[in-house]
Amino acid sequence: MAKDFIWTTLKVIFSIFRFFCEISVLEGDSVTLNSGRTEIMDEDDVIQWLTETENSPDGELIVVADSMTVYDDVLDGRFRDRLKLNKQTGSPTITNITTEDSGDYGLIINNVFKSFNVTIYARLPVPVISSNSTNCSSSSSSSCSLVCSVVNVGHVTLSWYKGNSLLSSISVSDLSISLSLPLEVEYQDKNSYSCVLNNPISNQTQHLDISKLCHTCAGTRLLTESNRAQQDQTFLTEQYPLPWP
């Protein structure tokens, strides 16, 4: 009953002060919710931490610090062995954090309220750049079609850069979807291109190697003929080895 009353009060305060303290963390890292206390807690201090996440919209009491009790078995034990309490400041630390830990956290310390909104971002994959054509281009064509892609991402922006200049970008707020972004370049282009995937706190970059992904049919034919000549020479050497001096 006491917990229900506390959380009902906190939910009203959350609706007003939801923006009070924003924290962004990468998945797998640790986050500490700072109580604002620096001195050693005394026996008269009463600290309570509660959380309201997507999977716990009704809220859960996770710490009662007057008794230094940590309730890490709530939410089906999601915080088990990951929730540590600083016995001096009353600040909890959640280790090996996951995207499911995103949500609102509230603190009541001696009738003073403090709220946190914690956003957990998944670690980003490195974008993949590939040719948009399975065949070589005719010598009359002067451009090469490329595409940069990523899979299973959310809350990210995918962008093409020419040097430090932004060429194009696409953003998505959904979870676990695939993104792709096309690019046309000249075969003889000597500029530096890169594809960048980023969220508000991290990024991953893939640099374009035009010589590996873009080539004309004429260039392919020369390369094929060169490889064939090398194979013929290897065959002759194996079949008719030169006499040793």
114 and 143 co-located in one domain: no
- Report the pLDDT averaged over residues 213-233: 54
Q: What is the pLDDT of residue 132?
A: 77
114 and 6 co-located in one domain: yes
Indicate the pTM of the whole model: 0.69
**Tokens, residue 111:** 């009738």
- The CA distance from 234 to 240, in Å, is 10
Lowest-pLDDT range, 16-25, 55-64, 67-76, 224-233?
A: 224-233
Angle at 53 between CA 116 and CA 44, to 5 degrees: 50
Residue found by looking up tokens 């309570």 in the block: 48
What is the gyration radius of the CA atoms in the chain, in angstroms? 29
- The CA distance from 195 to 175, in Å, is 20
pLDDT tens per residue across span 154-201: 899 999 999 999 999 999 987 778 999 999 999 888 999 999 999 999
pLDDT tens per residue across span 82-111: 888 887 788 889 999 988 888 888 888 777
- The CA distance from 45 to 40, in Å, is 10
Residue 231 has pLDDT above 70, yes or no: no
Q: How many residues make up the chain in this entry? A: 245
pLDDT tens per residue across span 138-149: 555 678 999 999
166 and 112 co-located in one domain: no
Confidence of residue 6 (pLDDT cuts 50, 70, 90): low
* CA nearest neighbour of 193 among 139, 135, 134, 129: 129
- The CA distance from 140 to 218, in Å, is 10
pLDDT tens per residue across span 38-66: 776 666 667 777 787 665 555 566 666 55
Range of the domain at 202: 128-218
- The CA distance from 221 to 243, in Å, is 35
67 and 6 co-located in one domain: yes
- Kindly report the backbone phi and psi dihedral angles of residue 43, in degrees, each rounded to the nearest multiple of 5, phi listed first: -70, -15
104 and 16 co-located in one domain: yes
61 and 161 co-located in one domain: no
What is residue 185's three-state secondary structure? Answer: strand
Total number of domains in the chain: 2
- Report the pLDDT averaged over residues 207-220: 77
